[in-house]
Amino acid sequence: MVVSRTTPSRQTRAQASPYNLRPVRSSCPSSSSDSSPSSSSTSLSSPRTSGSGSDTDDSLHHDVRATRFAISKVTDFLEKHVTKERSDFSKEKAKLVKAKNQAEKDRDAIAATLANLKKDIDKFIASKDEAITCSICTMCMERLFTIVECNHTFCYDCLRQWFQSSLSEQLKYRDVPEEHAHPPYTAQTLEFLFQQAFIHVLLYKCPLCRSSVRKRPVEVPLLKDLVAVISTTLGPPKEPAIVNPHLEDDDIWAGVFRA
């Protein structure tokens, strides 16, 4: 016969114990031999975790310093650039202000010059008629004739009438035939008077200074052109001198001077 042996359980044994004592877990740290592999692993890896954090902090500090340095360099560059631009702008502004002031001075000077020129032109326009006025008839001359001996200038019509009146006075007390005694004299009349010895010399004088006149008055081309320009630019004279028809003759002084 086989007798089976059974092993009493832990609870059965505890109940069977006379003291019924519950095992107490020790609070003392376990020995190195009883320590679990996990705790050993944790204790060994802790120093490595601490060292990695320190390296990370150093790297962050380095990056911050590098960023600050870069920002400082950029800031310095921008400040220098802005300072230079401000300086250049100030110089250019000063140049522009100076140029503006000079332009205003030039404008004022030009305005003053134009004002003075206008006054001179107005004065010249007002006196232009007087400048070309014949001193005998007081009218404006379009063609001016100058006496060679004294350089006095008159209009042709006045000079011709003056010389013929002088010739008439010269013949006044001489027994000249009636048809030749009074003006207007022609070239044939003048030649007749010389041939018949009624006169031997023409006694003409300047209407203004009474200087003897022996040569024909001449028309100065420069004065003629000047009067033409004045009349074209400023308008014709208000009271032009009489245009004598003898000005169309081949010899405009025929009957006054011998050929």
* pLDDT tens string 114-137: 999 888 877 777 777 777 888 898
Overall pTM > 0.75: no
pLDDT of residue 38: 44
Domains of the chain, by residue range, sit at: 66-131, 144-248
Q: Could you say which residues of the chain have pLDDT below 50?
A: 1-7, 11-21, 23-49
pLDDT of residue 52: 62
List all residues 6 or more positions away from 99 whose beta carbon is below 8 Å from its beta carbon. Answer: none
Neighbour-count burial for 188-199, b at 16+ CB within 10 Å, e otherwise: ebbebbeeeebe
pLDDT of residue 57: 80
Would you tell me how many other CB atoms lie within 10 Å of the CB of residue 112? Answer: 10
